[in-house]
Structure 1
Amino acid sequence: MQGTIFELEEFLRGSAVTCYTVRSAKQNWSLADQFLNSFTDPEDPMFIPGFQDEIEDLVHLVEFIAENGMGRFILRQENSAHALPPKKIFGQGARHLMRLPTYSLRWYCMVWPPNILILFGGGIKRSQRNEDSPGVYSAFMLADRITKQIDQMIVEGSLAEHNGTLVGDLYFFT
């Protein structure tokens, strides 16, 4: 059986939430970095233009969550994983973050309440079903598989959270 070794690494630490991401042992960039670079870096071979406003909103949203917590948001449930942008935002202080009426991008994540958010990759959702958007579907499937693996590590006790920091085995195989 062929698989990949992954490492959890800190992506952004705020006063309320610490955001982590996942890096494959085979890659120079984390899944979150790969997602962001593919929509922001014209030098990236996977660059897709035209989504600057959506990426800016998603980045501001993650920064807001890191500083203020996840309590104001109902994220999109996608099997075991979740997706940004959120389905619903509560409170006036956070509504300004999402400036557009609709978003084509999905950024997959795992929520570990109350203060851990693990960011994966994402892509462009071009239809109602993930399966009909190849780029987003592969990111969704990987996020779902990694979320299940991390959930198993939590249950087994090999990974834990302490004051917003992941402790234990930050490497895993899936």
Structure 2
Amino acid sequence: MRFRKLLFNFELNLKVKCYKGRLVIQQQMPRVTYYSFQFRGAQLTETEKFITRFKDHALYGQDFNMIMAVINEMGRNRGANVDYFRGERYGEALPPPYKSGNLRLYCGRYSGRIVILCNGGVKTSRLPENSPDCRPHFELMNALMKNINKRVWERTLSEKDGILTGDLNFEIGDCYD
């Protein structure tokens, strides 16, 4: 009987995750260059999708405006100081930890001059992995930042004058052609 119970509690995840795309400059500002991930064949970057979805949102417009204000403050005046970011495994999220709100924009702080912005959603649970709206964006950002860190270690990706140099194309995960 115990074996049967264990068997029914076992869950097999057969979803294959494959992210193919590239980093593109989203916006260059005096203190920070913002990049975003763009899936191969997509017209919009992940950040543009986030902006399109939340900029006029009735419930989350205030949270969205707070996130955009932080992005503008970093880009124009202060640079990408670590205090602006919430740690999220390999990546980060906005708004800063000292601000409240349920909307998250997943990102990665490459340096004080470069930030990779991705997409985000509404956090409905303590952990982003348990928030259906956040989970895919959280997973993409973490996979991307893990791959970026690997490339930095291998010296195939670097920064020069606030711009990323090297291979900005990515195939992350179990990608089969």
- 2:95 match: 85
Q: Counterpart of 1:121 in 2: which secondary structure? A: strand
Q: Counterpart of 1:26 in 2: which secondary structure? A: coil
Q: Counterpart of 1:134 in 2: which secondary structure? A: coil
**Preserved contact between residue 107 and residue 115 of structure 2 (Cα < 8 Å):** yes
Displacement, 1:79?
0.6
TM-score by length of 2: 0.81
One-letter amino acid matched to 1:104: N
* Structure 1 alignment gaps of length 5 or more: 42-47, 89-97
In 1, the alpha carbon distance for the partners of 2:154 and 2:29 equals 28
- Structure-to-structure mapping, 1:118-157, within 5 angstroms: 118-157=116-155
**Preserved contact between residue 153 and residue 159 of structure 1 (Cα < 8 Å):** yes
- 1:95 match: none
- 1:16 matched to 2:31? The reply is yes
Q: Counterpart of 2:142 in 1: which secondary structure? A: helix
Q: Counterpart of 2:134 in 1: which secondary structure? A: helix
Distance of aligned partners of 1:168 and 1:122 in 2 relative to their CA distance in 1, 3 Å threshold: same
Cα-to-partner distance string for 1:46-104 (whole Å, 9 max, x where unaligned) = xx64211111111111111111212372411111010101114xxxxxxxxx6xxx211
Displacement, 1:20?
0.7
* Structure 2 alignment gaps of length 5 or more: 1-15, 173-177
Which stretches of structure 1, 4 residues or longer, exceed 3 Å deviation after superposition? none
Pair member with larger Rg: 2
**Preserved contact between residue 124 and residue 136 of structure 1 (Cα < 8 Å):** yes
Distance of aligned partners of 1:24 and 1:73 in 2 relative to their CA distance in 1, 3 Å threshold: same
In 1, the alpha carbon distance for the partners of 2:159 and 2:133 equals 31
- 1:70 matched to 2:86? The reply is no
Q: Share of identical aligned residues, percent?
A: 26
Displacement, 1:108?
0.7
**Preserved contact between residue 12 and residue 66 of structure 1 (Cα < 8 Å):** no
TM-score by length of 1: 0.82
